[in-house]
Amino acid sequence: MEEWSRSAAPFIVLMKNLSNKEMTSWIFLAPVLFIHLLVVAIPSLSSLALCFTDWNGFGKINFVGFENFLELFDDRVFKKAVTHNLIWTGLFLTVPIALALLAAFLLTGVKRFQMFYRFVFFFPYILASIVNCLIWKYLFHPIHGLAAFFKDIGWESLATSPLTTKETSLYAVAFVDGWHFWGFLVVIYITAMYQVDESLYEAADIEGASKWQTFRYVTFPSIRPMFLFSFLIIIIWSVPAFDYVYILTSGGPAYSSEVVANFMYFEAFRNMNVGYASAVGALMFVYVFTILGFFWTLRKLGWEI
């Protein structure tokens, strides 16, 4: 009994130092932390361990060191998937952001039915991925969709599905995902714009600033923290991009729309190369960690992020 008291002493001291409010917070957080530990933390650590093996999901686990990583750097499909991820990130850091900034700035000048317009922009974002994909899969159908319409009016060059053409498949999937995503950016940008001090706009009007000058010198500097935050989340969310690619093209045709997460999925669950897929996941983790470290450094240097 005395030994148990000694071992439990630090825990008892900690419990005494916690206030009732803190104890209540930890009690309510405990189930969430347990689920996170069970569903996220433990599988993630297991995946990091498996990346040094050639395990196929069953049977004996064999340690192979860095062999999976060396094989990845020679894998033509993996290198193509990485390139597509970089293109994907570049697309989402330009077109959706530019359109969202423009739409949000224009909406700040709308006085009537603004909530309706916000809902219209945001509506695709609240739809399930499968619903969005099925809508556009039908629109891109070579027989029943827009291709048939273009063929009827004589535009033969457009009478094909962009999802089935190697040159356009990746951009078609990115377009569908961007159509779903940009409304989210509109809402967060317009929310940030409404926090801008009205006196700054009044001063700009007195000085005779145009709408572009007002946006450049007043609006954008004021919403820069939110803009940089959206920049960060887009970079991070672009790494595990999977659902739209898988539903619309499954990475085809001929790997023309293959991305890293899709490559990892097929290696793990189709080819049963769990260790190899875990190596891909480890590289994705390192990439995201590096990006977060970069933005953390900027924050330490005084950037408002």
Tell me, yes or no, whether 107 lies in a domain: yes
Give the model's pLDDT for residue 4: 44
Give the model's pLDDT for residue 150: 81
Asked whether residue 290 falls in the same domain as residue 151, the answer is yes
The pTM score is 0.85
User: Phi, psi (5° rounding) for residue 53?
Assistant: -125, 170
Range of the domain at 9: 2-50
Residue 268 · residue 277 · CB < 8 Å: yes
How far apart are the C-alpha atoms of 263 and 274, rounded to whole Å?
A: 12
Tell me, yes or no, whether 14 lies in a domain: yes
How far apart are the C-alpha atoms of 84 and 78, rounded to whole Å?
A: 10
Asked whether residue 43 falls in the same domain as residue 77, the answer is no
Q: ∠ CA 260-57-278 to the nearest 5 degrees?
A: 30
Residues pairing with 23 in the sheet: none
Asked whether residue 292 falls in the same domain as residue 149, the answer is yes
Residues 6+ apart with CB under 8 A from 147: 140, 141, 158, 159, 160, 161
Give the model's pLDDT for residue 173: 95
Asked whether residue 148 falls in the same domain as residue 191, the answer is yes
Tell me, yes or no, whether 55 lies in a domain: no
Asked whether residue 275 falls in the same domain as residue 148, the answer is yes
Asked whether residue 102 falls in the same domain as residue 248, the answer is yes
Give the model's pLDDT for residue 21: 67
What does the pLDDT profile of the chain (305 residues) look like in tens digits?
Answer: 545 455 545 545 555 555 566 777 788 888 888 998 888 888 888 888 889 998 887 888 889 989 999 999 999 999 999 999 999 999 999 999 999 998 898 888 777 887 888 888 888 898 899 999 999 999 988 887 887 788 778 777 777 889 988 999 999 999 999 999 998 999 899 989 988 888 888 888 888 888 888 888 888 888 988 898 898 899 999 998 999 999 999 998 999 999 999 999 999 999 899 999 999 999 998 998 998 888 888 888 877 66
Asked whether residue 125 falls in the same domain as residue 209, the answer is yes
Based on the structure, what is the number of domains in the chain?
2
Asked whether residue 249 falls in the same domain as residue 138, the answer is yes
Asked whether residue 81 falls in the same domain as residue 225, the answer is yes
Asked whether residue 246 falls in the same domain as residue 159, the answer is yes
DSSP 22-71: HHHHHHHHHHHHHHHIIIIIHHHHHHHHHTTB---SSS---B-TTHHHHH
Asked whether residue 168 falls in the same domain as residue 249, the answer is yes
